[in-house]
Structure 1
Amino acid sequence: MAQTTIQSKESYKTGGDDLDDGLELDPDLLAGSDEEGDDDSDIERNVDEELGSNDDDEKDLPPLEGEEDEIVKSPIIEPKKRKVEEVIEGDDHDQQDKECNQDNSDEARQAEKKRRKKEKEKERKAKKRQNQSGITSETIPTHLPKSDLSSILLKSIKESYPSSSSVELDDIQIPESNLLDPPNYTPIPNPPSTVSNTENKKSDMEQFKPLQKRIQDLSENLSKKKLNVGQPQIIILALSGLRCADLVRGVRDVKGDGEVAKLFAKHFKLADQVKYLHQKKVSIAVGTPARVGKLLTEDAIKITSETVLLLDISHQDSKTRTILNLPEVRDELWKSVFSGKSRETLLKGGVKIGAF
């Protein structure tokens, strides 16, 4: 009976340790503790579920103030962003440099194109003027036959009187009887002259050799004639006052017994030149068409059949213009010197006209 009781008690043994200490746990207490544990676990699950729902709600909530700035200003992202911006900015500068270089090269090409076009236009105009005047690089004006010289002068006259008829031009042009015959000596080529060569005396002498030789040839007959006051033996008409100054220096060695008169407006008043011509014996007078025309009108210059008038038709200025095609000078030549009273004084006096 006692064993049966012990066995029944052992069948309820559910906990404790292996020591036989005679202590046993009450099954009812054990069962209660399990049930309580289940309740705790349920409570914990309910709490977790509630917490979980709160986590979901937190996910939907907007970030707190300051959190977004902290993300943007993160020390990890900022250098990367700056580096990307620097690369992009560098590419932009490279592109701008390329575009700038391209623009500069385009401007340089356009400038070069304009320069070449300008030079070609200048050459074209120079050739046109030469064709109109009939003077080329091969032309030696000192040895032009009367017919050729008359043709060249007539072309220049037509430019000054474009609306004149052929009958009117016959009254304006210079008769061939007043033109000089070409000389007998071998012609000396006239070197190209577009600017003043006052700094190079050797060049001056080379430039004026054709003129000096022409004056020497003419002086063989003129030297026998007596010099009179106000009666130049040779009158030279040039393009400008600067050219006249060069010519004065070029003819000093062949001027003979008389003086070289400067008949141009630069530093010389008309009244002073009239007074000078009334007092001095002049062998060579060098002047511009405008001033010489006025002096002829004032009867300050006396013309005879021995007077020679030479036209400086070979000299060209920096724009390849000559006394025959520079409009203002050309018009003075034909409308001041060879027109009105001046023309009458020259032609009736029997002046001989040549060129160099």
Structure 2
Amino acid sequence: MADDLGDEWWESQPAAAGSPGVLAANANSSDALCGPSKTWIWTELNQRASSLQKPSGDEEGRDTEMMQQDTAPVPEPSQETKQPMECFLTQAKETKEETRKTKKWKKKKISEILAKSEPKPGTPGDLQQLIKDHYSGSRSVIELEELNLPDSCFLKANDLTHSLSSYLKEICPKWVKLRKTHSEKKSVLMLIMCSSAVRALELIRSLTAFKGDAKVMKLFAKHIKVREQVKFLENRVIHLGVGTPGRIKELVKQDGLNLNPLKFLVFDWNWRDQKLRRMMDIPEIRKEVFELLDMGVFSLCKSESLKLGLF
């Protein structure tokens, strides 16, 4: 086949436009070509070579973007890992627990206790227990046993059905006889202790059906001086006294009142004030009561010359 062509076939075969052989051949054959055909062919070859060797603008832009993506620094994870919602939840739980604790240890009011249960009348055992609790920190075991009052010194307690006059008639049926035989000054036959001067006036008004012709004296500190009461007791015979333990104790201390002729000592035990407190629930009154009992009342009870009543 090569023989038929006559010329060597590889010399006349067209080569790739961008190959170096073509460029060299074009350069060597520049002298053979002439005119405008030479210039056009040379320009065409150069354009094809440049298009093969250099990438296009789009491809170059894509390569640049890929390189930027590959070399771009990876953002570090944020160090702020606080969770404010969890903090609020824990605080809410703590506050709930604190409120539960405060509610758990909250002391109940007297009104709440009385609302759930009916009021119970005072008994001699209540007074005995108060005496034991009051002196347990300052007295020995032997001294506490000596303070135990015999049951015989207690009168029948009020069952919350009596008025003051009806109760006194029950515990002292021979009051008229005692009143007539009493003639000693600076003393009384019966003492009624209460928590305040206002309560003392109420009790005095409710004694009308019981006292008869007996002389009643107010024994409290409101608008009345101790000296005036001492003079009054020295000059007159008094059968019945109604007052507060603080003033009665002061009269005994100043030798204005003698407790030896005393026959009945009545506690206004079950009455409650506006705060629903009994007289022995008030610390100041309770302290004065026990100070008065230490001034000869315990010894009179043990000798059975004095009787105690809880109204």
> Shorter-normalised TM-score: what interval?
0.5 to 0.7
In angstroms, what is the RMSD of aligned CA positions?
3.2
Q: For structure 1, list consecutive stretches of 5 or more residues without a partner in the other structure.
A: 1-116, 131-135, 191-208
Kindly state the Cα deviation for residue 127 of structure 1 after the two structures are TM-superposed.
Answer: 7.3
1:158-194 alpha-carbon deviations (Å, 9 max, x no partner): 44335144433223343333222x28xxx7635xxxx
Q: Which residue, 316, 334, 338 being the options, matches 2:272?
A: 316
- What residue number does 2:120 align with? 139
In 2: Cα distance, 1:321 partner to 1:294 partner: 24
Q: Would you say 1:172 and 2:147 are equivalent positions?
A: yes
Q: Is the 8 A contact 2:149 2:301 kept in 1?
A: no
- What residue number does 1:263 align with? 219
- What residue number does 1:113 align with? none
Query: Cα distance 1:188–1:341, how it changes in 2: closer, same or farther (>3 A)?
Result: closer
Q: Is the 8 A contact 1:297 1:341 kept in 2?
A: no
Q: Which residue, 211, 218, 221 being the options, matches 2:164?
A: 211
Kindly state the Cα deviation for residue 220 of structure 1 after the two structures are TM-superposed.
Answer: 2.7
Runs of 4+ aligned structure 1 residues displaced above 6 Å come to 127-130
Q: Is the 8 A contact 2:219 2:244 kept in 1?
A: yes
The letter of the residue matching 1:216 is: K
- What residue number does 2:84 align with? none
Alignment of 1:182-331 (within 5 A): 182=156, 189-190=160-161, 209-225=162-178, 226-228=181-183, 229-304=185-260, 307-331=263-287
The DSSP-based 3-state class of the residue aligned with 1:220 is coil
Q: Which residue, 89, 98, 109 being the options, matches 1:125?
A: 109
- What residue number does 1:154 align with? 128
- What residue number does 2:53 align with? none
- Percent identity over the alignment is 27
Greater shift, 263-272 or 315-324, is seen at: 315-324
Kindly state the Cα deviation for residue 338 of structure 1 after the two structures are TM-superposed.
Answer: 0.7
Query: Cα distance 1:309–1:273, how it changes in 2: closer, same or farther (>3 A)?
Result: same
TM (normalized to structure 2)? Answer: 0.56
Q: For structure 2, list consecutive stretches of 5 or more residues without a partner in the other structure.
A: 1-102
The DSSP-based 3-state class of the residue aligned with 1:282 is coil
Greater shift, 295-304 or 319-328, is seen at: 295-304
TM (normalized to structure 1)? Answer: 0.49
In 1: Cα distance, 2:278 partner to 2:288 partner: 13
1:140-167 alpha-carbon deviations (Å, 9 max, x no partner): 44xx5xxxx1x20122224433514443
The letter of the residue matching 2:151 is: E
